[in-house]
Structure formats: C-alpha cells, structure tokens
Chain A
Amino acid sequence: MDTSHLAEHAGTAGTLFAQVFVVATLSMKTMIPLRVFAILTNFILIGTAIPSHNYATIVVQTLVLGLNSYRLHQMLQLVRDVKKSVTSNLSMEWLKPFMTERPCKAGEVLFYKDEAADSMFYIVSGRYRLVESGIELPIGAIVGEFGMLTPSNVRTQTLECAESGLVLSVTYDQVEQLYVQNPAFGFYFLKLVTARLFQNIGRLEQRLEQQALAVKIA
C-alpha cells in the first residue's frame, strides 16, 4: 500500500498545527512566555518535518530550538539571581553577563559630576576615586545604579580611575529592555534597588549617630 499520501497529509496538518503555535508565540507580550511558545513551535515543526524528510527545516528548527532554549535559560537565571540578591547580600553581580568590558587608564574619568547619567559600572580591577568626596571605591562595587531611577538622571560625583584596571558597563537602555521584557525581573530589580537605597540610608543614619555621639563625648 502506498503511504506517501498519508505522510503528505500528516505533514500538512502538522504544519497547520505549527502555524497556530507561531501565531501564539507572536502574540506573547513578554519574553519568557514568548520563548516557551517558540520552543514548542520548534518541536512541532521538527516533528512535522520528519515524516516528509524535510531535512532543511529539521536543521534550521534544531538550531533555533537551541537558541531559544539558551535565551530562556538566561532569562530564568536572571530572575532567579535577582530574586536571590534581594533576599541575601543585595549584590548586583547578576548583571555581569549583560555587561561589556571597558579597560580604564589611570587618570581617565568615567563620568563627571552633573553629567547626564546613561550607564552603570561594575568595578573588576584597578583603583577608582570619587573626586568630590575623595572616597575610593572597592573592587566589586557597582556605581550608578540609582541614576537610572532618579528623575534628574544626573551624576552626583565625578569618578576617576586612579590606577589602570577594568570595569564592566551596562547602559540604562539595556537594563530598561530587560525590565520591559521580563516583568518578574522588573519587580525584583525594583525591590533590590529600594533595598540598596534603604541600606544606604541606614549607613548614613549610623554615621550621623556616631558623629552625634562624638560631639557629645567632646
């Protein structure tokens, strides 16, 4: 019995079924469901291409499946890391995979006071000094994360490289994209920045108390 027409019909039906998933994928508003549906579509397209021996589709969809899976993994990992940061040390190291390296020479200024802020930095190596306050920033410090959420959006100090090193930078636009694409990330990011802000306020209050105590003793 000739079964080739059955394979052909199965292929057509499968392709139609896959199109439903293509539409569903494109109608997703945020990144994680979009990737999940894209992966399902990849599986269906691969499945329907097997009976008709459409090897080109199989190869292309397998590659896209790998890409979609990697991107989904990245997004889920990002949400998990931000969530973990909120409940542990308030670190922003999770941003590192999205940052680009920028070598800095001694004397180079990363940004000036009152300049419009457009990116944040993670210090990897070298020595960096806030010019106006004279404070030296330790390795691992994140600089400029509040600038993204402040209405004035300007730098409050000048950051100068005192000893050549490396920083990682990410623009606010890139973080905004992550925020918009991924509501869970956005939620935990806000929680994290607020927690860091409260941590700073706490430190300032502690410093004020110490100063008041020192005045009393004197």
Chain B
Amino acid sequence: MSDDGLLSSLRYLFADFLDEEDTTPPFLPDGLPEEAVPAVSEGIHLLMDYQGATYARLYVDRVKRFVGRIDAGLLAEIARLMAERMAYEDAIRIAQCKLAEYRDSGGEILSTDIKQFRFDELVDALPEIAADPVLMVLGKIGWEHRRVSIPFSTASRWGLRRLKAEAWLRRWRRFSIRYGQERVWVERWLHMIARALLKQPQSVGAIVDTATMIKGHGDAYRQGLADWHAIIDGLVKPVFDGVLPLDDLADAIRQAREAAMPDPRQVSLKRAIAEIRARAIGAGGNAAAE
C-alpha cells in the first residue's frame, strides 16, 4: 500500500476527529435566479468558514428545494436567513469570530468580550456522548440552568490559546446536541414555507421572515425560539392542517409577533394567539352557519 493510500485510510478512520479534508466549496444550484446569487454565494462562504464544505453542501441542497418554486427576491431572503440560522451562535462560533477579528487586524485588536451562558448551553455544544453524562450530573446537582460568564480574549497568549482550542472543537459540532436541535429547527421552518406555498402562498413572506425572531445566544435566543414555536404551533401549523380557518395568516403572524415581549412566560403572546384563534374559529363558525 502506498503512503498516500495508508494516510488517506487513516484520515478516513479518524475523519470524525480530524478537520475536513475537502475544502472545495459547493457549486451554486442549477437554475438559481441572478437576483439570489449574491445571497447564496455569501451563505456558502459563511458556512464554509463556519463548519466546512459538507455543511455548505447541505445549505445548497436546502436552497435547491425552492429554486423555481418561488420568486427570486423571496428565494434570496430564504437563502440569507437560512445561512444566518445555520451559522448559529455557540461558544465555538464566538471563539471563531474573535480569532478572525484578531487575525484580520494583523494582531492589533487585543480585547476581551465577556459572554453569559447557561451551563446546559455550553454542554450542548459537546458531542452527545460526552454531553449526556455531564448534563445528567448538572441536572442532579441543580446546576443545569446556572449562569456562567465566559471571557473570550485576544489580550493574552493564554486567551488566544484558549480561543484556538475552542474554535478547534468546530469539527465535533455536527455531533453536538445543539446541532441536532438547530437542524430540526431549520427543517421545520423550511417545511412551513413549503406548506405555505401549497396552502396559503400569500403568507410565505411572513413565514420566511419569522426566522428573524431567533438571534444570538443565551436568554434572547431562548426567548426568540420559544416565541417562534408558540406562533408556529398556535397559528401556522393548525392553518395548514386545516383545523384553523384563518384567511390572512400573514396578518395573524404580524399581530402575534407584535405581542411578543421579552417574557419567559409569554403571557402577552399566548393571549394574542388565543384571541386570533378565537376570532378565526368564531368567524369560521358564522360563515358555516350562513
């Protein structure tokens, strides 16, 4: 066996622990409208930097689902928002960005950012096999939701080494609990867009735009995610399942989003959703009676 063959076999064996070999970015999808090219290209570039070629290919495959099905502007918006969501902000990403900032400045920007995380949020970034026992122990001692401040610093040699070590964990990201959760979220969002195209095409834009509800990390991220699921479960899905007679879903989503407050109990949002549902069911009942 040649050295090359042996090395490539060893690389394959330890592929999960080594960095990705393939660094070729994927091609743009066939038939992609001109208007959507910049957004998709940017998305590919972002995800190549974020994770690697395989992840960028997954992004292109997801974009492909809508090529030729919706207008170019909306496709570009889906591509832009999807790339943002696929490059979700975890401790690894923050370390990657901080290192990039340091490198781009030629080593001149020396700063420290302190970010707040919950323990479970940090552990979720680890591979499931390592995260599960840690989460179990944290749960038993009641530290799961305990907050911790993490410094991301380029101001010292130790800080830089730590950032590099955290950014190195990128290769394990796809085995993490958080990755699985984000994958399910993106698929659910795309699924809702696809169903809107069939059931209420006029509401597609509003559903695409709901992705802007989820941003950042920590409390803001969790709040946005919970609000998003409340709107999808309370309004969007029931309309597509045919159990909620709502003619203007886009307006209902707008009203619900306006009612969403930074409140973990979601009182105002839940009330708004209940009111919209009651109105729609009432109107549906009246229409049936007539």
Contacts and interface: CB of A to CB of B under 8 A. Distances in A.
A109 B237 CA distance: 12
B65 interface: yes
Interface of B: 58, 61-62, 65, 184, 187-188, 190-191, 194, 233
20 contacts: A107-B233, A109-B184, A109-B187, A109-B188, A109-B191, A111-B187, A112-B187, A112-B188, A112-B190, A112-B191, A113-B191, A113-B194, A114-B62, A114-B65, A114-B190, A114-B194, A115-B187, A116-B58, A116-B61, A158-B191
Interface-central residue, B65, B191, B194, by most chain A CB under 10 Å? B191
Interface in A93-147: 107, 109, 111-116
Contacts of A115: 187
Contacts of B65: 114
Contacts, number: 20
Contacts of B187: 109, 111-112, 115
Smallest CB-CB A-B distances: 8 pairs: A112-B187, A112-B191, A114-B65, A115-B187, A158-B191, A113-B191, A113-B194, A112-B188
A181 to B, nearest CB: 16
Nearest to A152: B61
A174 to B, nearest CB: 15
A112 B62 CA distance: 12
A119 to B, nearest CB: 12
A112 B190 CA distance: 9
Contacts of B58: 116
Nearest to A107: B233
Nearest to B187: A112
Interface-central residue, B61, B184, B187, B194, by most chain A CB under 10 Å? B187
Given A109-B191, A112-B190, A114-B65, 14 more contacts: A107-B233, A109-B184, A109-B187, A111-B187, A112-B187, A112-B191, A113-B191, A113-B194, A114-B62, A114-B190, A114-B194, A116-B58, A116-B61, A158-B191
A112 B195 CA distance: 11
A163 to B, nearest CB: 15
Interface-central residue, A112, A113, A158, by most chain B CB under 10 Å? A112
Contacts of B61: 116
